[in-house]
Structure 1
Amino acid sequence: MRLLTMVLSVTTALVGVVLGGALMLSPDYAVSRSVVIQAPAGAIYQHLDSSPGWARWGVWYRNDPQMKVTNSGPAKGAGAAWSWLSASQGNGKMKLTAVEPERKVAYELQIESFAPSAGALTLEPAEGGTRVTWSMEGRMDNLISRWLAFFMDRMVGPDFEAGLANLKQLSENP
């Protein structure tokens, strides 16, 4: 009986710490990474404004070559959208919400079971080429999901870095 009481006490304390900690965490998250690509903005932009463009450099596509992608809407530009089914990368959908040719592509990303997030790839002149910044922000309202928001930069940041490295290679070596 004493062991059961101790186990229940420890379990209750752990649940209290997890939930109490979640109450103190912000539900908002932001992830951002940048790279300078030695190529003009136009050479980079052509890989950003469509689903086939993202497929050439996107790290998630490379992680699951069997990913089933379905395109919808216009072929490129604002309104271009795609959804995917993937055993290893999860299921989701993405829609380009605004474009400024050779300057910016904004998107909405919806991963199954999570609230949508907003992101953008911006292109700015930089010494030696074009600075590309990939950013994304969102909100996790569920108490347990706040822990995901807390770690989002560490979870998604490396994928952004790998994707930007792929984009750099593709743009610099067409």
Structure 2
Amino acid sequence: MKILKGILFTVLGLVVLALVVAIFVKKEYTVERDIVINKPRQQVYDYIKYLKNQNNFSKWAKMDPSMKTEFRGTDGTVGFVSAWDSNQKDVGKGEQEIKGLQEGKRIDTEIRFIKPFESTCSAYMTTEDAGLNSTKVTWVFNGKMNYPMNLMLLCMSMDKMIGGDLQIGLNNLKGILE
């Protein structure tokens, strides 16, 4: 019985310790990638501001060519929603909404994941001049993991998990536009 109590108190102590540590662990994460595309800034912006075009360059959209898609609103304007539903767990179900546009410079979106887990993050793409007829495109994801789930950020890198996917998407975008 003493051994069982000892094990129980040890496990309980570890759980309490993890919960205390989670109080001090960051909750937000940011993943950012960029690329230079040899096209004028306005031309690049005019392509990426349409969420439907992400299906042409995003790695995630290409993971399941048979996923169901639905669009609501006018693409390229605030309030437009691009939704997807896939039977593949790596793609899942969710939607992305244009939340803000700075003409020629920036597109802000909110991504709402529904399956395989519920989560919301913000993303944006910016365009800036990078020389004559060249444009630097930056793609950024910002997310948050609430307490105590933020404890997972100690043992997993969101940058490593999705950064490569962002870069693949940007490389695809460069290939399309050039």
TM-score range, shorter chain: 0.7 to 0.9
CA distance in 2, matches of 1:148, 1:110: 20
Look up the match of 2:162.
Answer: 156
Look up the match of 1:135.
Answer: 140
The two structures have a TM-score, normalised by structure 1, of: 0.84
CA distance in 2, matches of 1:160, 1:2: 53
Deviates more, 1:77-86 or 1:2-11: 2-11
Which residues of structure 1 form unaligned runs of 5+? none
Equivalent positions of 1:92-131 (< 5 A) are 92-112=94-114, 113-127=117-131, 129-131=134-136
Tell me: CA distance 1:46–1:143, structure 2 relative to 1, closer, same or farther (3 Å): same
Look up the match of 1:43.
Answer: 43
CA distance in 2, matches of 1:27, 1:131: 29
> 2:26·2:150 contact (CA, 8 Å) conserved in 1?
no
CA distance in 2, matches of 1:18, 1:99: 41
> 1:25·1:147 contact (CA, 8 Å) conserved in 2?
no
CA distance in 1, matches of 2:18, 2:172: 37
Deviates more, 1:123-132 or 1:37-46: 37-46
CA RMSD of the aligned region, Å? 2.4
Which residues of structure 2 form unaligned runs of 5+? none
Deviates more, 1:160-169 or 1:126-135: 126-135
Q: Which amino acid aligns with 1:124?
A: E
CA distance in 2, matches of 1:146, 1:105: 31
> 2:57·2:173 contact (CA, 8 Å) conserved in 1?
yes
Q: Which amino acid aligns with 1:101?
A: E
CA distance in 1, matches of 2:81, 2:53: 12
> 2:97·2:110 contact (CA, 8 Å) conserved in 1?
yes
The two structures have a TM-score, normalised by structure 2, of: 0.82
CA distance in 1, matches of 2:6, 2:167: 45
